[in-house]
């Protein structure tokens, strides 16, 4: 086996999708390299808990736009929401420390992660009157529509073309 055999020269290129974590991609490639050389002895994933991206739902009805984000275990003081220029920005940082002391050992773990999600809204959104609340780890943001922006449905008469 040569060094050239270990490299991915001439093999399919590595594709990186938009928003992909380059560190995770590098780690996956290193895991493949070690698996090809040593067999299935992949390295543990070091980056699983460092990236947070809460699930978002964005919905609309006749009167308002609603954004909900799942933020389990996050403290309200660690979340910031800002609205400007047709965008709602949700930022947060989660810090967690666990310490367990028993006879003969001490186990201490720390995990940190931050996120930022930006939602673009149409001009009909009245960002001046947006309100946010959180309950049971779910953040809800309600943005009313501007006056006159509520859809008024009307039926059109169909005419026979000449």
Against a cut of 0.85, is the pTM above it? no
Tell me the per-residue pLDDT of 78-117, one tens digit each, with 9 for 90 and over: 899 999 988 999 999 888 788 888 888 888 888 778 889 9
Tell me the per-residue pLDDT of 51-86, one tens digit each, with 9 for 90 and over: 567 889 999 998 999 999 998 878 888 899 999 988
Report the domain count for the chain. 2
Nearest one of 131, 143, 135 to 76, comparing CA atoms: 135
| 12 and 87 housed in the same domain | no
| Structural domain range at position 16 | 3-38
What pLDDT band is residue 45 in, cutting at 50, 70 and 90? very low
| 84 and 128 housed in the same domain | yes
| 116 and 67 housed in the same domain | yes
Q: What percent of the chain has pLDDT over 90?
A: 28
| 128 and 65 housed in the same domain | yes
* Residue 60, CA distances (Å) to 1, 22, 78, 130, 151 in order: 60, 35, 27, 14, 11
Specify whether the CB–CB gap between 63 and 94 falls below 8 A. no
Q: Is residue 108 part of a domain?
A: yes
Q: Is residue 77 part of a domain?
A: yes
Rg of the chain (C-alpha set): 25
β-pair partners for 98: 109
Whole-angstrom distance, CA of residue 107 vs CA of residue 100: 5
Nearest one of 72, 58, 117 to 91, comparing CA atoms: 117
């Amino acid at each position: 086996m040569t060094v050239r055999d270990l490299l991915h020269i001439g093999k399919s290129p590595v594709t990186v999708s938009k928003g992909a974590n380059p560190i995770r991609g590098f780690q996956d490639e290193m895991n493949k390299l070690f698996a090809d050389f040593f067999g299935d002895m992949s390295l543990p994933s070091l980056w699983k808990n460092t990236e947070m991206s809460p699930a978002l739902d964005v919905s609309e009805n006749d009167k308002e736009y609603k954004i909900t984000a799942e933020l389990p275990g996050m403290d309200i003081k660690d979340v910031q929401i800002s609205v400007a220029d047709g965008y709602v920005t949700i930022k947060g940082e989660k810090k967690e420390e666990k310490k367990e002391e028993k006879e003969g050992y001490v186990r201490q773990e720390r995990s940190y992660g931050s996120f930022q999600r930006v939602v673009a809204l149409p001009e009909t959104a009245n960002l001046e009157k947006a309100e946010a609340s959180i309950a049971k780890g779910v953040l809800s943001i309600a943005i009313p529509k501007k006056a006159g922006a509520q859809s008024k449905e009307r039926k059109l008469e169909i005419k026979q073309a000449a």
